[in-house]
């Protein structure tokens, strides 16, 4: 069992599924195909901007056309895609179209895994053959105790007969040890540390649950619930801290490597840092006109290497500051005046 940078368990193990290996490398694009779902899981972390809505996102990019999906995948040099929701099988035709697009554009080695909360039948799985490599079932908590007698066990066998890699992926909740019964039939069992969000906070409090610490969204006790299963080589526990400190960071690094401007500094966390000068009169100072280093001018703002701005700050009039943000115009994390 591996540990993340916080010392907590999670991440890449000796028999990790192919999809998880690519997630670990930050090489998987997340394709959110719909926020609509037939279930109402109390622990669902989906935001209000996605839950119940007919929207498509490639990573955090709102998809307006299929080209957006390809562009997002290219921007991060994606080696694979994870299809999620909501419930992807509610928009099966669209899922088939998106997966075919990705396979045709990037080649058959572009690994695609798909999450589903239903127990898909042969008729539902057949259209995904050759397009989806790995199916991850999410049986609800109330099915765990009799998992072998229910529809999810039948789906596992059907998926295996059709040639899919098949596993179960669920959050760590009380009673999860019952899933040991189906382990011999699975390729993997992924357990995600239960996470607190704005949309499930009320349900968490109703169950007297609280955060593990003040640094991450992990719910206290979640890792202990999974503990009885963690010695099995097919079982992998993915901690909240691991997702934050490894998966997201590695994905940001890939995006930054493809999108950073020559003067952007890429940090170890995959963010970019640059300097901003706000012009007082709209005219570019002579010093910057003569400077050999690259700059970018937009309106009354001049963006450049932060160290260059720091060196010349006493010679340049106007407000000056350093920005750290996610790559490709992502959210701003910090603004430091100079």
- Residues 246 and 26: their CA atoms lie apart, in Å, by 8
Closest to 172 (Cα-Cα) out of 188, 192, 143, 195: 192
Label residue 293 by pLDDT band (50, 70, 90).
confident
**CA dihedral of residues 146, 197, 216, 260 (deg, nearest 10):** 110
pLDDT tens digits, one per residue of 116-155: 999 999 999 999 999 999 999 999 999 999 999 999 999 9
- Residues 44 and 59: their CA atoms lie apart, in Å, by 18
pLDDT tens digits, one per residue of 22-62: 988 889 999 999 999 988 888 888 888 999 999 999 999 99
Q: What is the pTM of this model?
A: 0.84
- Residues 44 and 195: their CA atoms lie apart, in Å, by 9
pLDDT tens digits, one per residue of 73-100: 999 999 999 999 999 999 999 999 999 9
Exposed / middle / buried, residue 287 (Cβ in 10 Å: 0-12, 13-18, 19+)? exposed
Domain residue ranges of the chain, discontinuous segments joined by +? 18-256, 261-337
Q: Which helix (H) or strand (E) holds 202?
A: helix 201-206
pLDDT at residue 1 in the model: 39
Specify the CATH number for 18-256; select among 2.20.25.90, 3.20.20.70, 3.40.50.740, 3.40.50.970: 3.20.20.70
For the record, the structure tokens of 63 come out as 């998809």
């Amino acid at each position: 069992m591996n540990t993340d940078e916080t010392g907590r368990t999670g991440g890449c193990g000796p028999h990790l599924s192919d999809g998880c290996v690519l997630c670990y490398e930050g090489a998987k694009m997340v394709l959110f195909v719909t926020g609509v779902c037939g279930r109402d899981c109390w622990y669902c972390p989906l935001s209000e901007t996605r839950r119940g809505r007919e929207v498509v996102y490639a990573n955090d990019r709102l998809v307006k056309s299929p080209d957006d999906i390809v562009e997002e995948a290219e921007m991060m040099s994606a080696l694979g895609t994870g299809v999620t929701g909501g419930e992807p099988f509610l928009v099966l035709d669209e899922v088939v179209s998106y997966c075919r697009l990705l396979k045709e554009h990037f080649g058959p080695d572009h690994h695609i895994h798909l999450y589903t909360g239903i127990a898909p039948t042969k008729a539902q799985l057949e259209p995904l053959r050759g397009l989806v490599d790995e199916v991850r079932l999410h049986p609800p908590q109330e099915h765990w105790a009799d998992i072998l007698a229910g529809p999810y066990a039948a789906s596992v066998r059907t998926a295996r007969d059709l040639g899919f890699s098949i596993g179960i992926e669920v959050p760590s909740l009380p009673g999860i040890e019952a899933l040991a019964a189906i382990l011999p039939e699975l390729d993997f069992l992924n357990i995600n540390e239960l996470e607190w969000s704005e949309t499930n906070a009320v349900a968490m409090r109703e169950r007297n649950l609280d955060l593990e610490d003040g640094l991450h969204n992990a719910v206290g006790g979640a890792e202990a619930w999974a503990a009885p299963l963690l010695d099995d080589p097919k079982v992998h526990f993915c901690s909240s801290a691991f997702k934050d400190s490894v998966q997201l960071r590695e994905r940001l690094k890939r995006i930054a490597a493809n999108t950073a401007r020559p003067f952007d500094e890429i940090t170890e966390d995959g963010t970019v840092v640059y300097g901003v000068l706000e012009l007082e009169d709209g005219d570019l100072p002579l010093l910057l006109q003569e400077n050999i280093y690259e700059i970018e001018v937009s309106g009354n703002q001049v963006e450049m290497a932060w160290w260059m701005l720091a060196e010349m700050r006493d010679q340049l009039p106007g407000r000056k500051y350093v920005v750290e943000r996610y790559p490709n115009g992502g959210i701003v994390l910090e603004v430091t005046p100079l």
